[in-house]
Each structure stands twice: as C-alpha cells, then as structure tokens.
Structure 1
Amino acid sequence: MKVRTPLSQGWTLRLNTDRDTPEGTPPRLAGTTVPAQVPGCVHTDLMAAGLLADPYLDRNESKAAWVGRADWTYASELPRREGAFERADLVFEGLDTVAAVRVAGRLLGRTRNMHRSYRFDVTDLLADGPAPLEVAFTSAYTEAEALREALGQRPNSYSEPFNYLRKMACSFGWDWGPTLVTAGVWREARVEQWSTARLAEVRPQVTVAGDGSGTVEVTVDLDRTTTGQDRPLRLVAGVGDTSSEVTVAPGAMTATVSVHTPDVALWWPRGYGEQPLYACTVVLEDAGGHALDAWERRVGFRTIELDTSQDEHGSAFTLVVNGTPVFARGVNWIPDDVFPTRVTADRYRARLTQAAEAGVDLVRVWGGGIYEDRAFYDICDELGLMVWQDFLFACAAYPEEQPLRSEIEAEARENVVRLMPHPSLVLWNGNNENLWGFADWEWEQALGGESWGEGYYLGLLPRIVAQTDPTRPYWAGSPWSGSWDHTPNDPDHGTAHSWEVWNRRDYSDYLTTVPRFVAEFGWQAPPACATLERALSERPLTAQSPGMLHHQKAEDGNGKLNRGLARHFAPPADFDTWHYLTQLNQARAVAAGVEHWRSHWPRCAGTVLWQLNDCWPVTSWAAIDGDARLKPLYFEMRRLYADRLLTVQERDGALVLAGCNQSAAAWGATVTVRRMGADGTVRAGAEVPFEAAGRSVALAALPRSVTEFGDVRGEFLVADADGLRAVHFGCPDREFAYPAASYEVRVREDGEGGAAVTVTASGLVRDLLLQADRLAPDARADRGRVTLLPGESCTWRVTGWARPTAHAAEAALFCVNGAPVRE
C-alpha cells in the first residue's frame, strides 16, 4: 500500500537577499533564519518569531507591506526512501504562489498557481539518505507586474495586479479586506512512496434513477511505474454496503467501475429533509489482491437542476433539488482569514453552524477567494448547506494568453474533480462580476479588442464541467442574464447584483424591482465595540478616527454609512449612538430587501446576502465580524430566513400581509393587526385570516380601517401571529413622534456564568438592542433587536458575563427613541 509521510516538521524560513530588499524590510532579517510552520505563510511565521507586528491591529497593515514585496525561502529535509517501494514523489497540495522547488540543489520545477497541487518524482534523489529541500518563493508582485508588462494593462476594479496570476485575489486587498500579499507552503506537503501503480485521479459521478435507485460511476486515472506497465490490476469500488469491481488490463491508464444501490436515501438541503451520506471507497489492487492505493470520500444521492425557463416575467433562475424548487436563503462566503492556513476544521464548523442556525441553506464561495479546504465542503454536506462554487475570477479582466490559460485549465480540472464528490455542491459559477464589467463598466472600450476572460466563462469552463462533472449545472457568471441578448445584470433574467442601493440610494429602493435571483446585496456596519477596542488602541474612538478609517476599506464607506443614516435618523450625538444606528440600519436594510423579495416567490427564487463573515476586524457588510462576534444583522437574518416569515408589504398601492411559508406543511393563521398610536393606544384593529400552502406565499388584504393612518408621524401598524411580529411605520424615524423610552431592567444570574436580562416597557420602545460585548468582551446574547409595546417584556439570555448587574445591562441597551426614562 502507498505510504504518505507528511512534511510538517523541521521547516525554516529566511529572507532572500539575491535582489534588493523592499523598503521597510528590517535590517536584522538579513541572514536570519526563523522556525516555520507548514502549512503556513510568511506573515504568520514572522509574527510567531516576534519579527512582525500583528497587521490586523491599528494601522500595522501598512507597516507589513514590505513582506509581500520580498522573496523568501522555506527549507526542510526529505526522508530517506524505503527500499521496498519503487517510486517516491514529493507532493505539495498548495504553494502560494510563485516558487522554485529544489531537492539536493536540483531544480524540480517552478510553480505559479496557488489553486492547484504539484507532484515531483524524487525517487533517485532520496536513494542515498535524507535530502535537503528548498522552496524559494518570488514575490507575487514580481510575477504579476512582469506579466502585466508583457500582456498589457487590463481593467480592474482595484489598483493591484491580482488578475495576472493565479492567487487568492483578496490577499491584494478588497473593499472589506487588508492588502497582505502572502507566500508560503499553504497546504499539506508530503512524500508518497508506492509501487506498481497508484490512483492519480478519482472522479465519482452520482446519479439517481426514477425508480429510487442510485448509481455511483467511478472513473479513475492511473499512474504506473515502469515495472507496473504490463501488469493487470483490479479496481474495487464500494458505496455503503454495496461494491463492484473491474479488471484493469495491462497498460491501461484509465478504468471505470459502477456501483448500483437500490432504494437510496436522498440528500436534501436543510429544511427540506435529511442529509444521509454514504461512504464511497475505491481500492486499487494488484493481480494477487494486495492493495496498492485507496481513496475514500462520502457521497450523497440527489438530483440538482437549474430552471431557467421563460415566463411572463423574463427567465427564471431557480434551483430544483430532487424535483423540488427551492427558494435559496443564501450568504456569500469570503475566506475567513486573510491567512487561510489559520482556518481550521473547527473554525469552519463554527462559522457554518452559525450560518445554518440562522436559517441559511446556501453558501456561495466567492470568486476572489480560494477553493476551500475539504473540511468546508464536508461540513456543508453534513449540515445540508448547498454550495454555490465560483471559479476564481472576480472584478477584473483576465488575460487569456499563456501562461495564464494553461494554468487556469489545470486549476479548473483539478478542483472540479476534487469537489465533485460533495452532494452539497449544487452549482458551478464562472466568475464574479466580470461579464457585467465588460458590458456596463466601460471595459470593452478600454480593452480595445484584447482578451478579457470571455473565453474562460463561455468556453473553457463550461466545457470542463460538461466533460468532468455533468451532473451539476454551470452558470457563466454572477450577475449573468443567460446570454448577450440582455445586459448581464438584467433583474428579469438570471442572477442579479443589487449595489446601486448601498452605493447611491436608500434601501427602500429594494422595493422597486423583483429580480429572479439576488446573488449579491448588502449594507455596511461597523463590527462589535469589543472588536474595535481590541483592534484599535486609539481613544476615544470616533467614526472618523484614523484607525476606524483604516479599518474601513470601501470607497467613501463612512460617507455612505452617514448618508444612509441621514435618510432615517437625526444626526447621532456621539460615537455610541452612531455605532448602534449604523448596525441597526444594516439590519433594517437587509430586512427590507429580503422581506420584499421573499414575498415574491416563486418569481424571485433566492437571496444571497453579502456577506456572512469577515477576514479581519473591519467595517463591512458581514453578519459575523472579524472576531467572530454576531452583529445585529445576524439575528435579523435568523428571522428573515426562518421557515415562516410574516411581513407587511405593498401591492398596487395598498398594504397587504404576506405570510411566507418555506416549510412543507401548510401554515394557517389568524393575524391580529393593530394600528397604534405612539402613545401605545390602539386606534383600529382587525383579525385577518390567511392560509399558506407548503413552500408558498399567501397574501391577505388589510382593511382600510387599519391601514389608513390618521397621522403618519404618530401611528404605526403591528401584525402578530404564531409568535411572529411585523411592524410597519409610514415615515422615517426622524419624522416620527416617538415618546421618550421608558422601561424597567431586571437581571437574574443563572449560575452558569451568565444571566437573563429582562426588559419591561412602559411605552413604545423601538428596536431595543442589547450589545452584549459591552457587558464583557466574551459575552454573547441570544437575540437581536426587538420592538416592545407598552406592558410587553423581552428577555435576553447572556453567556460569558461574570458579574451581571442591572446597571451594566442598562448601559448596554440602546433603542431608537433614546435613553430610557428611569422607573
């Protein structure tokens, strides 16, 4: 059997001084060798050695810019080859990015792609004993800028040259991320020793027949030694308790074996059914039955289709799983750390579990990041989170000339094969915003006929998917209308991105269109106060303090935040109020969009929030900040993505109730609707019944007696049913005649390192929020904002709060109608 020896110990790192070192390089680094972690990267190794300040803190990012401009060498030692094996290979699952690999001084090869693996034959080099190994990294800037010079300038939404090499684009910075250009052995390095033959590639295609049976057709490519060329082999595949085998003829380099399983249990997205997974094993044996190599993954049986049929509204974009159309409740995923080797399986599980607990059923892996680790997709399989996987192109024109084209083809083929076993993977997407950029961002004029990536998105990539993974749909880009007959971001066709609202307009403009599928939309807010206080040392913090502005990467980001506030609120008097209102505005903006779009199912078939997570402490569109603290948006997403959502919407100039029911069971309810005054009195009321079938939306008209406001600045609507509440105000907060907030706070310790905080309102309290991190940095609350009517109470369960007091709780509570009048 093949033997794998990980190369994870004994690595060192040194600065290369063969060329001038970049400005800012510490002189003491010349000739200095430091311990290195593999997998890892230069930045984290320098931090561990005390040679680099944490670039996530204050404005240290700028002081670390030299690291990405320098050249570095990782060094270790390869083990002696065991004589029982015919062949020894040095394998790198990932090298970031431009590297020369040498063993015993001999150049084995050069790399220029972070997103693929590399294998080198080192059989002869290990025969005489351990051999020195060096991986010399050239700065990614050096390679990218040289290619830009050779191939010509291409349009790019950012100034950095990430589109000229195959590297995680966002390591060059983004409108939410720092510029920290990494280098290193970022995935596993190992030596593999084997004889006769090995499994070079395994491609399982999983299908489900109409009779409920399932088939896994496994195609393998083989690599043989010289003595193994003329030997017959046997390939044995197993799925669950069923297995099948074939004989591989001498000299054959590929083989296919099918395993047929009757009455398979179907894999479903969360909320639609269970997620049964079957062990799939492939064993390569010699003629005597001795195992030479083995491969194992888990697979799931399900069908996935993409409905793009024409209708009276345009053309659909609806995911259909096992014959059931799905409204996708999605989030966009960015790398969870700019240094991706720090993202462990436990961290993936924590973040994806948070997504699932918020009602998410689809995660889009965005094209400016990476093809994530296997653990990410394994966890999505288990949690029932559908994965929309972008190919790694984002916000730029990409040359189609060599050497990029061959690298992109190799990368795409390898990663399609690597990810195809996962039932959670439901869509391959060609790129992020590049087709849109060509059509609508004046790229076509700037390019002057030069290549820009169309050949990848409409030619190479769909061909690779069709050849390798034909059981899954491919879509050319996001946004993309399906053809050049319509502009790529046409909301009536295919996928759409909604960014005019955040950039230029109020979030009420979400209500003016019904896209077929909203693949990106969002609103910014700062991270939790405890996150800011950890990351920034300046005091007092203000929205315009230097550190805050450094950790705001969006163009005019704070200006957009403040203009968004001004449409709804009076100018905030202090930083704490600004912080609360910007976080509230983020939650409200997303709610306006999702409630509207979800109420238009099945015309609109999904929303994918930008974004779930952050990669460092920053003001951004994320629901979970860079220190893993939950912003108010997270709790709002949990309400918006619940199976049942009650909302007040406008149809044809009148207010209606929308009961959005994503569960399989019918939802029937009688809704209590009240028009209330700001003083808490009921001005009018009605009982409104509705019945929503499973996976449907029910609209119910509201009587005019309830919806006709006597004074829009002093009245509002409240609708309650089955523990759900919808609140509708007819004017901006700055115009509404709010009473001064009046409530009582009680705190009760629970004996488990936490407490229950109960607030009882004496009058209307709008959007009351407990910011738990103000109680203690590690404190967490179990819910977000709530609007209370006179006499109503709400309890927050808080964990991680060692010394609970009512006084501290009062200081951490915020609401729209100001500081409370103390009882």
Structure 2
Amino acid sequence: MARLHAVTGRSVTPLSAGWELCVTEPGATPGGDWLPAPVPGTVAQALREAGLYRLGEPLPLHDRDVWYRVRLTGDRPCTLRFHGLATVAEVWLDGERILSSASMFQRHDVPVTLRGTHALHMVFRALNPVLKAQKGRGRWPVRLAEPAGLRAVRTTLLGHMPGWCPPVPAVGPWRPVELITETGPLRVRSADLRATLEGRDGRLTLALAAEWSGAAPPPGWLEVGEARAPLRWTGPSDLRGDIRLPEVEPWWPHSHGRPALHAVRAVVGDARIDLGRTGFRRIEPEPGDGFALRINGERVFCRGACWSSPDIVALPGTRDAYAPWLETARQAGMTMLRVPGIAAYESDAFFDLCDEMGILVWQDFMFANFDYPADEPFLDGARREAAQFLDRVQASPALAVLCGGSEAEQQAAMLGLPRERWSQPLFDTVLRDEVERRRPDVPYVANSPTGGPLPFVADAGVTHYYGVGAYLRPLGDARRANVRFASECLAFANMPAAGALPGVPAVHDPRWKARVPRDPGAPWDFEDVRDHYLHSLYGVDPMLLRYEDPDRYARLSRAVTGEVMEAVFAEWRRVGSPCGGGLVWMFQDVWPGAGWGVVDSTGVPKAAWHALRRAFRPVQILLTDEGVNGLAIHLLNETAEPVEAVLSLTALRRGEVPVLRTERAVTLPPRSAQAVPASSLLDRFIDLTCAYRFGPPTHDAVAAALSDPGAGAPIAEAFHFPQGGRMERAELGLGARVERTAEGWSLILSSRCLARSVHVEDDGFRAEEEWFHLPPGTKRRVRLIPRHSTAVVPDGEVHALNGLDSTRYRGTA
C-alpha cells in the first residue's frame, strides 16, 4: 500500500522508548542483566552503546537468543505493527505468543485489545541452529556468503560475507515497532497510488480500501497541489479517483532537470489523508540487445555506485542517517544508486530523499548468488516480501529499475552448469509477476548480470564489468569490451586518507590486510589489483616503492584508482559509446580501511570520489585518444538549457611552456553530445597524441577546458598525457593562500607548472575539491570544510604528485 503519512482519525504511536534486552542461551528464560535497547535498532547497536562491543570484535549472537521487553498501556482494540524483525523471531503479549516470523524483510500487523498495562516481549532466536537444520542443497556451491543454509532463510547477507564485510550479526527489531489505533468513522486499510506521465500531461490514479462506519459515506476528493478531482465509492470499501494534470512539470534526475514533486492528498468528509509526494515521469528501457534508460523520452547515462548501509552495526533507516550520505552522492554527480541483493531494503526515508534529490534507484530484491528453494512456502514468502516492498514505494519516482537479485545466473554459469539450470522460478516468474502487478512503470531485470550468450558478457544486457579491475585488463578494454550497462564495475581497494584506520600502518600490517576486500578462495586481494594499475599507469614498482618511500606509495595509491575510474567513464560517456551506465562497486566502506568504497566509513570522500565527481559532470568535456585519427574532444550537455562557453585547448612542454594555445566560442544545445576533432581547432599539424612519432614529442600534456565566457571560470576540464601516467617530479611553484569570507575558509591555489593530483592535508579541515590537475597560470578557489566542531583555523599543506615538495598554509584567527 502507499505510505499513509497521516490519516485523520488514526493514531500511530512509535514504541521506541523503555525497551530492554537480555542475551541468553538458546531456549533459556531470561534471568540475567537487562540492558537499555534502542528500537528500532539492533542488538549489536545496543551493545556498542553500552560499551560492550566494538566493530571487528567477535559477537556470536547467532548462537544466542535475545529477549526484548517493554511495558505497554492502552484501553481499546488496536494493532501492533512490526516493520522488521531480524530474523527468526517471536512476539509475546502477557505470556501468550501472538506472532512468529522467519523473515527479516516482512512487515506484520497483529490485532490486540489492550486493557491497562501489559508486558510485551520479543525474542530473537539463535540463527545458527536454524541454519544447521535446513534440509536440501542448492544446485551449486556459493563462496560469497556462508553458511549454505542462508539460501532458505530470509535475512541480509551483510555480516555473512567474510571476503569484505565484518561479521556483524543483524539481530533485533531493526525497523520500527508501532501501536496503531483507529478513531473516527473512516478506516483506511490501504492506498494504491499510480503516477504516470502521458505525453506532457501527468495522470494520477488512486484506489483506497476504506470503511465508513457512520451513515451514508460522504463524497471524497483527490487533490494534487491545487488540482482536484472527485473520489467515488465504487463499493462498500472501495474509493477510486483519477486526475489529469495538463502540462505538468515532470520529475527528472538532478543531472537533467528538476526533480519536481507534487503533494497528494485525499479528503473524505472531514477526514484528510496525506499521501506524501510523488513525481510524474516516464521510464522506458531502450530497445536493443543492450540496456539503457530513457526518462521522459531522453536517453540518460546512469552513473553512480552500489550502496551498502550508513552503519552496518545499526542498519538505521532514518532521514538523519541517510541524508549526509545521499547528499555526498548527489554532490559527486551520481544519478543512480543500486541497492544490491546482498544488502537490505532501505526504509521510506531513503526513497523520500532520493525522490527529492533526483537520484535514481536501481533496486535488487534481497536475493544473491544462491540457488533458492522452489517450493511453494518459500516462493509465497518471497511474494509477500516483494509485494510489501513494492506497495510502500509505489509512488516513488526515483525507483528506476527493479532486479530479481545479484549474480545467481552468473554463479551457475561460471561453475559450468548447463544453460537450462541457470534460471530460477523466483526470478523469472514470482518477482517478475509482482513487479508487473504493482510497479508496471519500472523496468524489470531478472538478474544482475544477465543477457547475452553468457550472463556476464559485457556487450549485451547488463554486466558486472571487472575487465578493467579484477581481471587486470588494460584501460583500452573499457572500449574494446563494448560495455552496454555495468550495474557493477571498477572495484578497487580505495586507499583512505592517512590515519583513517587509527594506529594501524597502511598496507604491511596484518590488521590493515584483514580489512582489504578479497574474493573468498582467491590467492589475491584488491590491493594487488590496485598495485597492478599503479605499475601500469605510473611505471613504478609497487613493492619497491613501499620499501623505499611508503608515503609516496600511499599518495600514488590514493590517486591511481580515481584516475582509472575517470578514464573508463570518459570512454563510456564519449560520443558514439553504446554504454548506458556504470555503477561503481561500492559507494561507502562498511568499516575503516582500504575498502571498496569511494567514501570512507565515516562519510569522508576518498580521492576516487573526487575523480568520479569530475567524471560525472552533467556539462562535460572529455578527451579520447583515437590513435592516428588524433585527439577527439567530446562536449556533453545533459541539462535542459543551452550552455554558452569558451572551448580552449593547450599543449604544454614540461608542464609549463605552451607549444599550442587556441580557443573558440561554442554553444552546447540542451541534452546534446558532440565530438570535435582537436585538429579542427588548429591551423597547422601538431601530433597531439604522439601517434606518428616524427622526432621527439613536442609536449607532455594537453589540457582542454570549457569556461564561462563572462567570468572565465572553468565549467569542466580534461587532460591527456601522451606518455601515459608516468611523471617527472619538479619544482612546480605551487602557491596556496588562505582566505576567509562570510561562507567560511577557502584556499586560493596557483602553480607555475601543471600540478597533478593536487591534494590538501589538514588535521582540522578537508578540501571540498581535490585530487585535480591545476594548469599553470590559473587560480583555483577551493572551499575548506571543517572536519570537527573544534576546527578553528586552517593549518596544513598542499601537495601535488609531480611536485618535489609541499606548500604550507595557515589562516589567522
């Protein structure tokens, strides 16, 4: 059902205060110490708040029962609603069991009658005995998660994947517990809300399942903003309405326009029902053997990352928990986040924020890798799980793709099973049918990856692309593989800032290595992958560099994964590319260290995040080496407005002396992409890509920029290094000046020579923008963001990878 944000005559009381928990042996009656327990929340969260648990320590909750208790008062019939109990749970009221649940992902409504004060208990049974008792085996083994019995238990795989995730047990009432009391004559049971864009008009339909306990039911109204249409009783418990909004402002992802939302209400007699907000948009998969999305008729290149959780211990679902993370994603230019099947369904607040921020959501159902049971009890539970999720997000315009799950087809295919055993009724029938019934406006993908002669090929359907990455392919493979849509890609052990793992030296310490992601059973990890590209791009020996200059090794390691990502996305976004999108694995780290995240576990962006922010700009300039055809300049404008700009092209010798400088005024039409041969800007031949090799190179860098014709400020920049990433270190003349304005502190940066991967080190502040190349003779203003509330005056250093020394700066109070 649609989210009923507020209904006149309904009282919804969160049962969030006064809870206590007690951990016992399986089957035992609680008799030990009781601890305060947050609800919603997890047992691990309660133990952390009590100082009894730290992330990374063993916490064998799956071998224990955990009891929760609270006193409950009331004086009338009501409903107890449990939004999520992880995982095998029972609820007892005054010693009587009123609910048994075996799914973390299902909501339960239990009618009760309260008369005074009552004892409410929840008990979360030990999971390991349940897993050991599972009968039947899947058609293939799974290394990603353990034990194998997880295939038949509906719980998150977070905490069960030893290759990259700390073993945090997801146990407890992780989603709200509520007491719902109905008053007044109107009883609303559910709402079915559909918002569509038909041509340039919006259409909204509403079906309310409701009962009127008074005399003849009164007329009703459906309201969207200032527009109204009648709601009609079509039966004793059924109201329906339909409203058309001519020339409605559509909902767009933030890269392409405004994510316009419209408030929806229903009025029945004196009762008002707040149905939240929705947006009008049309999403269609592009025809063909690839995968791409058209939104409101426009092809949209979807870029972003795969999501895990704001806090793997608490698994929070509040607006405050999500907001800073989603804002960081939006600031990076991410237009899509994928919630993968190894994680958990996020709460309504997540979708509300994505709706508001214009971030598309690729949503997997919570199934991954396993051969799931095909018996009717399991499939019926999957139907209820899917139906409940789809009902509560039915009005979300951000929901863009629904996917059966992650890597189940791939797992079967890669293990050599015959083709007829790759599919499962869960994905091909059960989940597909629920999507067609409840969100027919959202494309459904059976699995991620899928399509083509093999599920994981890159040139058909949806792929998990690790050619550049784990398979150690050269950067040119990003084009050669003909990637159509990468719902996962570019996983690296992204190096965090110095000190992100306190007290643990980077790389060579066993405590560091324990947190480096790896595929279970593989004789390598993702730092080995990073080191491969460190060698191939920068021409250094990673092992020798760690021996001789560990600080230099760390700086290059932070930069290299971002440079790889930026180069790959340039290939995928260039004019003529068939690629419809790419989602980096992953957005955030689940604990401190060199994890897959482009944002660390505290929310601080890594160097890779800054590279993606450049790669994801909606108004963009790209450079691609087309061999003997020279350098191609790609100009992109995804916005709804034309962009007037100055296009400039400069070739530099030793990063300082211009051997070429040219510019021209350009207009980028709305929603356009154009390719310009760099040679067309020149009045003579210069071998910009060093393809012909007529003598020694005349230059070592090419810089292209789109600039505002009035202020001269850069809109977007791109760089090409004919000799690759190898660099000679020199005195750059790097300058840094601190300036304070009403908005806060800023750094004014300049350089005599091209400064590569400029970054800031400051204990009290971090740079809003860094790890960028700074052309000679230009100035760049960079805002400084306080790291903590006690940061008063900036005091730090500016570094560049090709500089021999750093530049100090200090503000004055």
- C-alpha separation in 2, matches of 1:531 and 1:223: 60
Q: Quick one: which of 69, 81, 84 aligns to 1:91?
A: 81
**Residue aligning to 1:179:** 167
- C-alpha separation in 2, matches of 1:714 and 1:103: 78
Q: Quick one: which of 327, 336, 359 aligns to 1:385?
A: 359
Deviation string for 1:564-603 (max 9, x for gaps)? Answer: 2122332333333222211101110110110011004562
**Residue aligning to 1:6:** 14
- C-alpha separation in 1, matches of 2:154 and 2:259: 34
**Structure 2: any 5+ residue segments left out of the alignment?**
1-8, 520-524, 680-684, 708-713
What does 1:60-79 correspond to in 2, within 5 Å?
61=56, 63-79=57-73
Q: Is 2:447 the partner of 1:477? A: yes
Deviation string for 1:661-720 (max 9, x for gaps)? Answer: 323445576644343322633345555787654323322223352323544697232333
Deviates more, 1:741-750 or 1:4-13: 741-750
Deviation at 1:486, TM superposition (A): 2.6
Contact 2:467 2:478 in 1 (8 A): no
Deviation at 1:32, TM superposition (A): 1.4
Classify 1:790/1:66 alpha carbon distance in 2 versus 1 (closer, same or farther; 3 Å): same
Contact 2:736 2:748 in 1 (8 A): yes
- C-alpha separation in 1, matches of 2:574 and 2:252: 23
Contact 1:176 1:619 in 2 (8 A): no
**Residue aligning to 2:320:** 346
**Residue aligning to 2:509:** 545
Q: Is 2:749 the partner of 1:765? A: no
Q: Quick one: which of 726, 730, 743 aligns to 2:722?
A: 730
- C-alpha separation in 2, matches of 1:417 and 1:679: 58
**Residue aligning to 2:438:** 468
Deviation at 1:132, TM superposition (A): 1.0
Task: Judging by fraction of residues, say which structure has more helix.
Answer: 1
Deviation string for 1:69-98 (max 9, x for gaps)? Answer: 32111111222223xxxx322110111111
**Residue aligning to 1:438:** 412
Number of matched pairs: 765
Classify 1:333/1:106 alpha carbon distance in 2 versus 1 (closer, same or farther; 3 Å): same
Classify 1:277/1:684 alpha carbon distance in 2 versus 1 (closer, same or farther; 3 Å): closer
Q: Quick one: which of 397, 400, 409 aligns to 2:383?
A: 409
**Residue aligning to 2:456:** 489
**Residue aligning to 1:656:** 632
3-state secondary structure, aligned to 1:437:
helix
Classify 1:70/1:633 alpha carbon distance in 2 versus 1 (closer, same or farther; 3 Å): same
**1:559 partner amino acid:** D
Q: Is 2:290 the partner of 1:302? A: no
Contact 1:568 1:732 in 2 (8 A): yes
- C-alpha separation in 2, matches of 1:795 and 1:185: 47
**Residue aligning to 1:51:** 52
Deviation at 1:526, TM superposition (A): 4.0
- C-alpha separation in 2, matches of 1:229 and 1:437: 58
Deviation at 1:223, TM superposition (A): 7.9
**1:249 partner amino acid:** G
What does 1:241-640 correspond to in 2, within 5 Å?
241=226, 242-247=228-233, 249-250=235-236, 252=237, 254-282=238-266, 289=269, 291=271, 294=273, 296-307=275-286, 309-310=287-288, 315-342=289-316, 344-401=318-375, 403-442=377-416, 454-481=424-451, 486-506=453-473, 508=475, 509-529=477-497, 532=500, 535-538=501-504, 541-555=505-519, 556-569=525-538, 570=540, 571=542, 572=545, 573-600=548-575, 603-640=578-615
- C-alpha separation in 1, matches of 2:214 and 2:69: 35
Deviates more, 1:32-41 or 1:317-326: 317-326
Deviation string for 1:205-230 (max 9, x for gaps)? Answer: 112334x4433222234589xxx699
- C-alpha separation in 1, matches of 2:216 and 2:78: 20
Contact 2:138 2:370 in 1 (8 A): no
**Residue aligning to 1:58:** none
**Structure 1: any 5+ residue segments left out of the alignment?**
22-28, 56-60
**Residue aligning to 2:522:** none
3-state secondary structure, aligned to 2:569:
helix
Deviation at 1:622, TM superposition (A): 1.9
Classify 1:394/1:340 alpha carbon distance in 2 versus 1 (closer, same or farther; 3 Å): farther
Contact 1:390 1:430 in 2 (8 A): yes
- C-alpha separation in 1, matches of 2:662 and 2:503: 54
Deviation at 1:17, TM superposition (A): 2.3
- C-alpha separation in 1, matches of 2:234 and 2:674: 59
Contact 2:79 2:111 in 1 (8 A): yes
Classify 1:103/1:139 alpha carbon distance in 2 versus 1 (closer, same or farther; 3 Å): same
Classify 1:679/1:35 alpha carbon distance in 2 versus 1 (closer, same or farther; 3 Å): closer
**2:443 partner amino acid:** P
**1:155 partner amino acid:** P
Classify 1:712/1:495 alpha carbon distance in 2 versus 1 (closer, same or farther; 3 Å): farther
When the two chains are superposed, the root-mean-square deviation of aligned CA atoms in Å is: 3.2
Question: TM-score scaled to structure 1, two decimals?
Answer: 0.85
Q: Quick one: which of 179, 192, 208 aligns to 1:191?
A: 179
Deviation string for 1:246-265 (max 9, x for gaps)? Answer: 22534x5x553323444432
- C-alpha separation in 1, matches of 2:62 and 2:218: 48
3-state secondary structure, aligned to 1:607:
strand
- C-alpha separation in 2, matches of 1:157 and 1:78: 44
Classify 1:686/1:249 alpha carbon distance in 2 versus 1 (closer, same or farther; 3 Å): closer
3-state secondary structure, aligned to 1:205:
strand
Q: Is 2:699 the partner of 1:717? A: no
**Residue aligning to 1:705:** 686
3-state secondary structure, aligned to 1:743:
coil
Deviation at 1:488, TM superposition (A): 1.9
Q: Is 2:783 the partner of 1:797? A: yes
Deviation at 1:338, TM superposition (A): 0.8
- C-alpha separation in 2, matches of 1:17 and 1:525: 39
Deviation at 1:43, TM superposition (A): 0.7
- C-alpha separation in 1, matches of 2:458 and 2:664: 33
- C-alpha separation in 2, matches of 1:794 and 1:229: 69
**2:481 partner amino acid:** T
Q: Quick one: which of 91, 102, 105 aligns to 1:101?
A: 91
Classify 1:11/1:687 alpha carbon distance in 2 versus 1 (closer, same or farther; 3 Å): closer
Contact 1:528 1:625 in 2 (8 A): yes
**Residue aligning to 1:26:** none
**Residue aligning to 2:103:** 113
Classify 1:238/1:803 alpha carbon distance in 2 versus 1 (closer, same or farther; 3 Å): closer
- C-alpha separation in 1, matches of 2:696 and 2:349: 56
**2:346 partner amino acid:** E
**Residue aligning to 1:678:** 654
Deviates more, 1:230-239 or 1:386-395: 230-239
Classify 1:769/1:108 alpha carbon distance in 2 versus 1 (closer, same or farther; 3 Å): same
Contact 1:332 1:363 in 2 (8 A): yes
Deviation at 1:625, TM superposition (A): 1.0
- C-alpha separation in 1, matches of 2:599 and 2:67: 36
**Residue aligning to 2:121:** 134
Question: TM-score scaled to structure 2, two decimals?
Answer: 0.86
Contact 1:303 1:321 in 2 (8 A): yes
- C-alpha separation in 2, matches of 1:669 and 1:260: 40
**Residue aligning to 2:768:** 782
Classify 1:216/1:794 alpha carbon distance in 2 versus 1 (closer, same or farther; 3 Å): closer
Classify 1:101/1:577 alpha carbon distance in 2 versus 1 (closer, same or farther; 3 Å): same
Classify 1:238/1:294 alpha carbon distance in 2 versus 1 (closer, same or farther; 3 Å): same
Contact 1:749 1:804 in 2 (8 A): no
- C-alpha separation in 1, matches of 2:678 and 2:235: 74
**2:721 partner amino acid:** F
Deviation string for 1:325-380 (max 9, x for gaps)? Answer: 22223322222221344453123222212222222222222222122111111111
Deviation at 1:804, TM superposition (A): 5.0
3-state secondary structure, aligned to 1:355:
helix
Q: Is 2:197 the partner of 1:208? A: yes
- C-alpha separation in 1, matches of 2:749 and 2:273: 60
